[in-house]
Structure 1
Amino acid sequence: MKIFNKKIAVLAVLLVLITAQSCKKDYLETKPTQQLSAGTVFSSLKGAQGAVQGIHRMLYLYDAQGTFGLASLNINMDMLGEDLVMHNAGNGWYNAAYRWTEFRNVASGDLNYYYFYLYRIIRNANEVIDGITQETADFKQLKAQAHYYRAFCHYMLVQLYGVRYDTTPGAANSGLGVVLSLKNDFAKKPRNTVAEVYASINSDLTIAATDIAGYTRKAKDEININVVKALQARVALTTGKWAEAVTLANDAMVGFPLMSRADYEAGFNNTSNSEWIWGSTTIEEQIDNYFGSFFAYMSLDLSSTNIRQNPKKINADLYNAFPNTDVRLKNFASTATEFAPLVPSNFTTARYQSKKFRAAGLNFGAGGLVYMRSAEMYLIKAEAQARNNDEPGARATLFTLVNARNPNYVLSTKTGAALIDEILLNRRLELWGEGRRFLDLKRLDAPLDRTLTGGHTATLTGNVLNVPAGDKRWQFLIPRAEIDATGADIMKQNEL
């Protein structure tokens, strides 16, 4: 694999340092940035901290109006599902993803962006892992965070560009995954198997969990043991390790109690929320362009053209599947004008539009970005319990979560597939807009079905109302630039 040329790669760690310290003008000014070597950077704790902070910053690094790191990838994950409904085409952003054409075009800008973006984070994580040689606790926890980021990005890449992980007992999972990038050696490498990629992910996370166990972080932007356990729980669920998923989800949620019903309506924009395990706290000075922010596309009230013209809505079928005593429904409009008092008169409003995400101001793109919550851990635990023949435990876990959202909810009496369906239904409503739907459909080997009365139109979806389970479109294509650089004989393309 040959993703980036050598000149850019050598500067990788320097670029993250510049990014991390862009507001600290005196940082490392004693030596021209171009002359800094990796050895210089990692010879001090401050330098190593700067490199890891730079990786944190890359999660919301602005590239272009529709591509701004992990939050924009999460938008795409929901655009590819059935639960987020576009009111109209607006000014065009994310339309191609909604129509399932963006990631089946080898020259697509977004296809290329996310592929190279995730590998860029991996490359910077490799710099940290290889550059830190000190064995003190402070250095080891920084190295652990880099192992986490490498695992996280490989996990995202293999889910998007690789074959679905088959959870059938004994399945070899020998299909094509993605290239494992564990050294910045510029070698042209073929794609690893799905099994090999997941083995590496689990290895990195085991190292991270060991070396970060005693670390107390300063903010939720940083990685701590809860974040590592939460990702391990996600991976265990994806790979059908049910007992492990239960234990890991339990561990991950410790110290992150479920939010109050009042907080659930507060706008999902503050990392101080009690159940947010991992997120980014952005400030206006860090947002290069407020149109390049999550809130410019998914909020109720940021004054961007996209928000004013194209409010994002929940699938009506999903909305109608829940009782009106569930606080989660209060984040969606029951009538076309319910949220009109909350926005200026030039904003389009619509029935079922979302106010789950609120901007800090009409022209303010910064705010808290959520990546992991304890609510998701309850859902992982409940699903894994149900699939592992612990239905009483699954019902009790589900009750804890849903009763916190709906005081009238009673303990489920469902069993078998019906119980799993109830858990998955709550997962859809709970995690709406947080970037989980495409990944869930793929891991469950479930079809995309937009044909009910939920609000999708053939015009806006490009007539993509159904995508069967196992269809070739569930795999993103490998970018043409990667194929050309590595060679088609080495870098195999997914089915066109």
Structure 2
Amino acid sequence: MIRKIYILLFVGAMALTLGCEEEFLDTVPTDSISEESALSSPENMELVLNGLHRMMYGQNQLTGGTSSRSGESHFIPMFDAVGGNIIHSSPGNGWMTSDLKWLSHVNSSATTGFNLWFQRYHFIATSSAIIDKVAASDFTVTSRVNNILGQSHAYRAWAYYRLITTFSKGYLIGDPATDPGVPLQLDQGPPYTSGSRGTVQQVYDQMEIDIDKAIDYLKEASPAANKSHISLNAAYGIKARIALSKGDWEAAAKNAELARDGYALLDEDGWLSGFNTYDLSEVIWGGKVIDTESNYFQSYFYYVAFSFNGSQNRSNPKLISKELYDKLPDTDYRTKGWLPLAPNTNPAASNDQGGSYESDPNYSDKESFDAAKAAIIEKYGATQGHNTHPYMNVKFQLKNPGTTDPDDVIYMRASEMVLIEAEAKAMMDDVTGAQDALAILGEERDSAFDKSIFTTKELLMEEIKWQRRVELWGEGFSYHDNIRWDEGLDQSNSGASEVLYQDGFMQPKPSVNDKWIFKIPQQEIDSNPNMTEADQN
């Protein structure tokens, strides 16, 4: 797993980005910063944390890793590709086709799984190093130190949450007391070898210890410098996610409500503005992408934004499921986030209806077909080389459309927290409480929303599932939602092509189908003395 802690790389990356602590960098070259120097003071620890903030969205800066599939910029859309919520309109340039075909995550040698594992354990190792160093030092306890410790414990909890919900069987559909988890790696120092897998329950126990400590520290900490940092609200949100994934409904509802406190839901103008900045009112946690440090053709918007000027989008606009979209009422302004009647201009479109008005059933003449494309290109600022497709996404828009300029990456919004609260209360059979929570979102998005029609847990859950798939489309939740709800994949009425999607077109539910569990990277099996092939999923 991790043979050493590459803290010097975190320090070098973020210190250069932020242009701060120049005296420290002038004194100690970035290629020779020792762990001891990097953790020698609260100021230097903050530099290390800044490196984690950058790594959340950026290209991989770790020796032994690869930059092609790394950071939440890749993993957020990847989880929606595997989970079936982002529909690809064509093979495009090949990016993520192995994910949506269900070829990558079941391959122990795949880059995606390796980087997900490798990076998350670097978050854990770095957080643990900070926690251990503070415990062994005589630093004065200040709000600044509490902030450092709070963020470190929160990052460790978040990293384990990402790992355990991806590389192990879902808590609610398995036996967490005996199901194999992921290695707990909390101590630092030689020989830097990992432990055995342990159990799912043991990992959850550690996550809950860490997130509770994070919350306690952050209550007594200096405020988060910006939304890239883990604030007290974000820590509550992480706790809500952990609780939801294990069916601790009361804790999920309580912490989701705490997480969204002070973060007003977006209005229509805000929701339709493109989700390209963490300055939006309901963003609790997100990555501020710095212009000089963008990951360009590995960026989040490269995968999801129609007008990003990259081959992934020019040839392959991403779609919402037809079945999902068609349930949106006319009174819901989210209908404007996708274009169901966009002309199918790509001759290589996977539904075999692209290229001209003659093959597109929505158009009967070339003039209207060409005019529809021209109107979309003009309105959303794409280039003439961009193709359009029915049900294409315009929820995500670049601030500077038609370019490769970087935009922010959103990790947590208040809308998600509202939906966690609603789901948790529904699962507790608190029908009135779930109705009230659901109405917070529903009444904002749909002028005709009526909470009173959802009179049972079953009706509430049906609506909550639909709301999550629409509201959080493209934000990386569908894969883990399907596991929690024990729902399989069936793309028959989505608009996805069975020829393109192959195994990803239809899959049995997770409780009877271990293909929903990512394979452990083969490098881990080969190098970890405490694991063998018998530990592979």
Q: CA deviation at 1:66?
A: 4.3
Moved more, 37-46 or 221-230: 37-46
When normalised by structure 2's length, the TM-score is 0.87
- The correspondence for 1:328, drawn from 328, 334, 340, is 334
Moved more, 334-343 or 210-219: 334-343
**Counterparts of residues 110-149 of structure 1 (less than 5 Å):** 110-132=112-134, 133=137, 134=139, 135-149=141-155
Q: CA deviation at 1:202?
A: 0.4
3-state secondary structure, aligned to 1:302 = coil
8 Å Cα contact 1:385/1:393 also seen in 2 = yes
Q: What residue number does 1:472 align with?
A: 514
- The correspondence for 1:360, drawn from 388, 395, 399, is 399
Q: CA deviation at 1:35?
A: 4.4
8 Å Cα contact 2:297/2:404 also seen in 1 = no
Alignment-mate amino acid for residue 483 of structure 1: I
Q: CA deviation at 1:34?
A: 4.5
Moved more, 358-367 or 97-106: 358-367
Q: CA deviation at 1:167?
A: 6.7
Q: What residue number does 1:175 align with?
A: 179
- In the alignment, structure 2 segments of 5+ residues that lack a partner are 61-65, 344-371
Distance between the aligned counterparts of 1:331 and 1:234, measured in 2?
26
Alignment-mate amino acid for residue 377 of structure 2: A
Distance between the aligned counterparts of 2:176 and 2:15, measured in 1?
45
* Structure 1 residue 266 corresponds to structure 2 residue 273: yes
* Structure 1 residue 442 corresponds to structure 2 residue 479: no
- The correspondence for 1:298, drawn from 304, 314, 317, is 304
- In the alignment, structure 1 segments of 5+ residues that lack a partner are none
3-state secondary structure, aligned to 2:27 = coil
Distance between the aligned counterparts of 1:431 and 1:76, measured in 2?
14
1:185-228 deviation per Cα after TM superposition (whole angstroms, max 9, x unaligned)? 42341102000000000000010000011431121001111000
Q: CA deviation at 1:491?
A: 6.6
* Structure 1 residue 4 corresponds to structure 2 residue 21: no
1:310-362 deviation per Cα after TM superposition (whole angstroms, max 9, x unaligned)? 00000000000110221112110021246333222211001110011112322
Distance between the aligned counterparts of 2:76 and 2:114, measured in 1?
16
Distance between the aligned counterparts of 2:320 and 2:68, measured in 1?
21
Distance between the aligned counterparts of 1:22 and 1:352, measured in 2?
42
The structure number with the bigger radius of gyration is: 2
Q: What residue number does 1:314 align with?
A: 320
- The correspondence for 2:471, drawn from 417, 430, 453, is 430
Distance between the aligned counterparts of 2:465 and 2:87, measured in 1?
19
Alignment-mate amino acid for residue 360 of structure 1: K
Q: CA deviation at 1:489?
A: 5.0
Q: What residue number does 2:365 align with?
A: none
3-state secondary structure, aligned to 1:464 = helix
1:250-288 deviation per Cα after TM superposition (whole angstroms, max 9, x unaligned)? 11110101011111000000111000000011122011x
* Structure 1 residue 152 corresponds to structure 2 residue 158: yes
8 Å Cα contact 2:77/2:475 also seen in 1 = yes
* Structure 1 residue 391 corresponds to structure 2 residue 431: yes
Q: What residue number does 2:201 align with?
A: 195
Distance between the aligned counterparts of 1:437 and 1:137, measured in 2?
37
* Structure 1 residue 18 corresponds to structure 2 residue 12: yes
Distance between the aligned counterparts of 1:491 and 1:149, measured in 2?
29
1:279-309 deviation per Cα after TM superposition (whole angstroms, max 9, x unaligned)? 011122011x411211111101011011100
When normalised by structure 1's length, the TM-score is 0.94
Q: What percentage of residue pairs aligned between the two structures are identical? A: 29
Q: What residue number does 1:280 align with?
A: 287
8 Å Cα contact 1:16/1:51 also seen in 2 = yes
3-state secondary structure, aligned to 1:22 = helix
Q: What residue number does 1:373 align with?
A: 413
Distance between the aligned counterparts of 2:225 and 2:70, measured in 1?
24
Moved more, 153-162 or 215-224: 215-224
Moved more, 376-385 or 172-181: 172-181
Distance between the aligned counterparts of 2:176 and 2:290, measured in 1?
46
1:5-44 deviation per Cα after TM superposition (whole angstroms, max 9, x unaligned)? 3xxx24x221111111113283421123454333333332
3-state secondary structure, aligned to 2:535 = coil
Distance between the aligned counterparts of 1:68 and 1:355, measured in 2?
24
Q: What residue number does 1:89 align with?
A: 91
Distance between the aligned counterparts of 2:38 and 2:143, measured in 1?
18
Q: What residue number does 2:390 align with?
A: 351
8 Å Cα contact 2:423/2:464 also seen in 1 = yes
8 Å Cα contact 2:310/2:404 also seen in 1 = no
1:434-485 deviation per Cα after TM superposition (whole angstroms, max 9, x unaligned)? 000001001121111212x210111110243221112010111111111111
Q: What residue number does 2:359 align with?
A: none
* Structure 1 residue 340 corresponds to structure 2 residue 377: yes
**Counterparts of residues 156-167 of structure 1 (less than 5 Å):** 156-166=162-172
Distance between the aligned counterparts of 1:65 and 1:265, measured in 2?
31
Alignment-mate amino acid for residue 13 of structure 2: T
Distance between the aligned counterparts of 1:279 and 1:221, measured in 2?
5
Q: CA deviation at 1:490?
A: 4.6
Q: CA deviation at 1:125?
A: 1.2
Alignment-mate amino acid for residue 199 of structure 1: D
* Structure 1 residue 243 corresponds to structure 2 residue 262: no
Alignment-mate amino acid for residue 520 of structure 2: I
Distance between the aligned counterparts of 2:25 and 2:114, measured in 1?
33
3-state secondary structure, aligned to 1:28 = helix
Aligned in 2, Cα 1:62/1:31: closer, same or farther, shift over 3 Å? same
1:365-384 deviation per Cα after TM superposition (whole angstroms, max 9, x unaligned)? 31111100000011000011
Distance between the aligned counterparts of 2:114 and 2:70, measured in 1?
13
Query: What is the aligned residue count?
Result: 485
Q: CA deviation at 1:413?
A: 2.1
Aligned in 2, Cα 1:172/1:332: closer, same or farther, shift over 3 Å? closer
Q: CA deviation at 1:151?
A: 0.7
Distance between the aligned counterparts of 1:84 and 1:40, measured in 2?
44
Distance between the aligned counterparts of 2:122 and 2:32, measured in 1?
21
Q: CA deviation at 1:488?
A: 7.5
Distance between the aligned counterparts of 1:266 and 1:65, measured in 2?
30
Distance between the aligned counterparts of 1:442 and 1:319, measured in 2?
22
